[in-house]
Amino acid sequence: MPLTSDQKRERQRLATQRWRKANPDRAKESKRVYNAANRKKLRASRKAYYAAHKEDEAKRNRLYRETHPEYDRLWQETHKESVRLRVRAYAIANPDVHRATMGRRRAQKLGAVATLTAAQWKAIVVAYKGRCAYCGKKPQKITQDHVLALARGGHHTAENVVPACMPCNFRKHTGLPPLIPPLRLLL
């Protein structure tokens, strides 16, 4: 019985595999030549594969970065411009998350425990119905206030941050007396 085209292809594949195994150096060289001649095609197919497996690939990349910190550092140092552009693009696309990251970094520099996320802050503002925790007014611009100031050893955590209007936040800044927000919620 003549072979079907599938069977022929499979036989060819196995023969190639055997040949590659028996001639590793020549196989490597022929692969290099093939890759060089098909760079555009290969890049397109890699790109398509990545697009179709975005989440898996992102997870794999993240895992690799975490297990190879020295490589990650090296990459960041040799790709400063693209890192900068990517950080900026992310900040523009996700202003709340970016602001939260910056807030944590600032608090960390002051030696505080800093875990407040953008989602937590949003939930806190919703819990306070958008009102200032001190005067109860609903300001146009709501700010984050540390009930126990960072300078006094307070933390940048959901337990220690309340929404405050600018005047109340500023009044607290100038120090006295240490206010406890009358609208304090148990989160």
Give the residues lining the site for Zn ion (CB under 5 A): 132, 134-135, 165, 168
DSSP secondary structure string for all residues of 111-177: T--B---HHHHHHHHHHTTT--TTT----SSEEEEESS-GGGT--BSTTTEEEEEHHHHHHHHT--S
Of 31 and 184, the one with the shorter C-beta distance to Zn ion is 184
The least distance separating Zn ion from the CB of residue 135, rounded to whole angstroms, comes to: 3
The least distance separating Zn ion from the CB of residue 151, rounded to whole angstroms, comes to: 20
The least distance separating Zn ion from the CB of residue 136, rounded to whole angstroms, comes to: 7
Other CB atoms closer than 10 Å to residue 156's CB: what's the count?
22
Phi-psi region of 175 (alpha: psi -120 to 50; beta: other; left: phi over 0): left
The least distance separating Zn ion from the CB of residue 128, rounded to whole angstroms, comes to: 11
Of 124 and 132, the one with the shorter C-beta distance to Zn ion is 132
Of 124 and 165, the one with the shorter C-beta distance to Zn ion is 165
Cβ–Cβ < 8 Å for 165, 135? yes
Of 63 and 166, the one with the shorter C-beta distance to Zn ion is 166
- For residue 146, which of 158, 138, 135 has the smallest C-alpha distance? 158
Of 104 and 134, the one with the shorter C-beta distance to Zn ion is 134
The least distance separating Zn ion from the CB of residue 164, rounded to whole angstroms, comes to: 6
Give the CB-side neighbour count of residue 75, counting CA atoms within 13 A. 11
